[in-house]
Amino acid sequence: MEFCDECGSMMKTDDGVWVCDNCGYTKPRDDAKEAAMTTTQGQEETEIIDVSDAENRGLPTTEVHCSECGNDEAYWYMQQIRSADESETRFFVCTECEHRWREDDH
């Protein structure tokens, strides 16, 4: 994605140049710079987080009831599991039995 140097609007490509639809500014495309740009392709994969050593990783704890063992404390972390325009999901890991659940599971 490229932004206009004149007005800041998002630019589009047209026959080897970047063109601003808002103000008409144009500039040549730079293949090396474009190759380094981050794209959204392939970002559907979710990262797997190993929480087996949650205490050693410094995860925060909160007071929440574990349905498996009845403990009232769990580690928690946030993770983006849906598209970027949706809020993150909070996950819990019981400090006693290591049972795992999402905030919306209860």
Which CATH number is 83's domain given? 2.20.25.10
For this structure, is 44 an active site residue? no
Read off the pLDDT of each residue in 13-41 and give the average, rounded to a whole number. 81
Catalytic one among 45, 53, 85, 104? Answer: 85
In contact, 34 and 24? CB cutoff 8 Å: no
| Domain identity same for 52 and 96 | yes
**94 annotated ligand binder:** yes
Q: How far apart are CA 98 and CA 33, in angstroms?
A: 46
**23 marked ligand binding residue:** yes
Structure-model confidence comparison of residues 15 and 52, the more confident one: 15
Q: Are residues 32 and 49 in the same domain?
A: no
Q: 26 and 73 share a domain?
A: no
Range of the domain at 88: 42-106
How many domains, the chain? Answer: 2
17 and 29 Cβ atoms separated by less than 8 Å:
yes
In contact, 43 and 68? CB cutoff 8 Å: no
Give residue-wise pLDDT tens across range 41-95: 655 566 666 666 655 567 899 999 999 999 999 999 888 877 777 788 899 999 9
- Would you say 66 is a known binding-site residue? yes
* 86 is known as an active-site residue: yes
Q: By the 8 A CB rule, do 95 and 71 touch?
A: yes
Q: Tell whether 32 and 53 lie within a shared domain.
A: no
Q: Name the maximum alpha-carbon separation found in the chain.
A: 64
- Same-domain pairing of 46 and 81: yes
